[in-house]
Amino acid sequence: MTDSFLLIKLVHILSATLLFGAGLGTAFFMWRCHRSNDIAAIAVVTRSVVLADSTFIMPAILILPVTGYLMIEYMGYSLYTPWIFWSFGLYLLVVACWLPVVWLQMKMRDLAAVAIENNEALPATFGLYFRIWTRLGYPAFVSALIVFALMVFRPL
């Protein structure tokens, strides 16, 4: 293996780790602050989660398919090798869940900021957004776990 391949592999692994780790971390803090019913905490955490998504998750989402494709080419695999095909499909599911999650997080951030500014309770819309956000997290999380397993075990 060449040094450039190993560098691409390292970037791929780090990007996957950032996507999964930052996603899990931000989900944990969003869930915890929501359960606290502390509007000030919710405002701070939602603002931080939106920042974390743009700082860590967005670059990882952009880098992963590029480094994955480069490794596939280097190793001479076909995109239709079953474990690669399923990995890309599940990755697309993760991204399809993540895109509305980002929108929901921005909306929740804005609703929390308005509630703080006006010294009001969070509107019912916030709870609806949070429930949708939570439901989108489950398939994304499970899909990411399966992709990790497919990359490690290459079962098909």
- Residue 90 three-state SS: helix
Which among 89, 103, 90 is positioned nearest to 133, based on CA atoms? 103
In the chain the beta strands, taken as DSSP E runs, fall at none
How far is residue 92's CA from residue 77's CA, in Å, rounded to a whole number?
A: 19
pLDDT of residue 90: 98
- Would the pTM of this model clear 0.85, i.e. be above it? yes
pLDDT of residue 1: 75
What tens digit of pLDDT does each residue of 122-147 get?
Answer: 999 999 999 999 999 999 999 999 99
Write out residues in the chain with pLDDT < 50, as ranges: none
pLDDT of residue 46: 98
Q: How many domains does the chain have?
A: 1
Domain that holds residue 101: 3-153
Question: How many CB atoms are closer than 10 A to CB 82?
Answer: 12
Q: What is the dihedral of CA 127, 133, 136, 142, to 10 degrees?
A: -110
